[in-house]
Amino acid sequence: MAIESTDPPDAMLPPPDAMLPTLEEIDSAAALVRSTMLPTPQYRWPLLCERLGMDLWLKHENHTPLGAFKVRGGLVYFAELARRGGVERIVSATRGNHGQSVAFAARRHGIEPIVVVPFGNSAEKNAAMRALGARLIEHGHDFQEAREFAEAIAETERATMVPSFDPLLVRGVATYGAELFRAVDAIDTVYVPIGLGSGICGTVAARNALSPATKVVGVVSAHARAYALSFASKRPIDAEVSTQLADGMACRTPQAEALEIIWRHVDRIVEVSDDEVAEAMRLIFECTHNCAEGAGAAALAAAAKEREASRGRTVAAVLSGGNVDSAVFADVLAGSGPGIDGGSGSRRA
């Protein structure tokens, strides 16, 4: 399902885009990010283009040091936190990739990281966060409950709460969009997965500065519809989460600041099911031998869903991360697993 944008009523018009970084700010953030990691590649895989019938580029954020785009925002956020000084301990909530970014960047500046995850979170993401030095706490049945508990910990342990959405995080992750738009000319459409919103808002900022004709399309799980429903109604709407595969998009409560940017600048939102995400994960592996987690494959799933409208056009999809548990990925490649065709093992054509 794709939900088209309509102008919000005057009472709902967002304020000026103060949250969006300028190109100068993005380039300054890029210099900081490059001190730790190289730019990630964007590849046009011939077999993938052939299979989808379009000129498609993948932006490989699965190639960062932490296997996901979030590290960019963490590096920028904690550089500023360290510059201000006086922070010894932080706490944040995550489904995994933001938590890895927080732990990685906090330890670089001698700050103790506490990370809260919901029960049933990815075992391998949890292990990665612990290996990066995080004190991991499990609480709640979804991200929203974990976030609320993290806010309580911030008070009881006198820790600084690190949000999952912030102008500094947006500035950092906008650097991948700038890399993409400078590397590939005349992109008609770029598909971006939406978790809490930093990735798509960063892409909007880079698009506005470097490729204003490109349409930005948000992608959400059909089993986590908060952003899709909010986009359509032009007001924040919570929605229950039931995705079994796209944990990086398992958002129940949308971020108000992100919604304002999405309402103003995003062309449409496409919903993809767990079955469609699983097929995209298989397609990426078969055609490129890259590993994509559920949220990481969602953008390609949306591009595939809209393939008829994209024939003859240049399209980009953000492969936002590759941090999927090995057992889950094995099941996906086999055509079975949680949330995939009811676990029946059947495969989509």
Q: Residues 205-263: pLDDT tens digits?
A: 999 999 999 999 999 999 999 999 999 999 999 999 999 999 999 999 999 999 999 99
Mean pLDDT of the 185-204 span: 97
% of the chain exceeding 70 in pLDDT: 92
Q: Is the pLDDT of residue 325 over 80?
A: yes
**Dihedral Cα 122, 125, 130, 134, nearest 10 deg:** -100
% of the chain exceeding 90 in pLDDT: 88
Q: Is the pLDDT of residue 16 over 90?
A: no
> What mean pLDDT value characterizes the chain?
92
- DSSP β-ladder status, 55-60 and 42-43: antiparallel
**341 band by pLDDT with thresholds 50, 70 and 90:** low
Which phi-psi region, left, alpha or beta, contains residue 21 (left: φ > 0; alpha: ψ -120 to 50)?
beta
User: What was the pLDDT predicted at 340?
Assistant: 60
Q: Is the pLDDT of residue 4 over 70?
A: no
Q: Is the pLDDT of residue 330 over 90?
A: yes
pLDDT greater at residue 339 or residue 309 = 309
Q: Is the pLDDT of residue 349 over 70?
A: no
Mean pLDDT of the 18-39 span: 96
| CA end-to-end span of the chain | 19
User: What was the pLDDT predicted at 221?
Assistant: 98
Q: Residues 275-308: pLDDT tens digits?
A: 999 999 999 999 999 999 999 999 999 999 999 9
User: What was the pLDDT predicted at 15?
Assistant: 52
User: What was the pLDDT predicted at 13?
Assistant: 43
- DSSP β-ladder status, 55-60 and 314-319: parallel
Query: For residues 338 and 243, is the Cβ–Cβ distance under 8 A?
Result: no
Q: Is the pLDDT of residue 334 over 60?
A: yes
Mean pLDDT of the 320-332 span: 96
Q: CB within 8 A of 163, min separation 6: which ones?
A: 92, 169
Q: Is the pLDDT of residue 18 over 90?
A: no
User: What was the pLDDT predicted at 19?
Assistant: 82
The pTM assigned to this predicted structure is 0.91
| CA distance linking residue 239 with residue 221, whole number of Å | 11
Q: CB within 8 A of 76, min separation 6: which ones?
A: 29, 32, 33, 168, 169, 171, 172
User: What was the pLDDT predicted at 48?
Assistant: 97
Mean pLDDT of the 128-140 span: 96
Query: For residues 47 and 285, is the Cβ–Cβ distance under 8 A?
Result: no
User: What was the pLDDT predicted at 7?
Assistant: 45
| CA distance linking residue 168 with residue 16, whole number of Å | 17
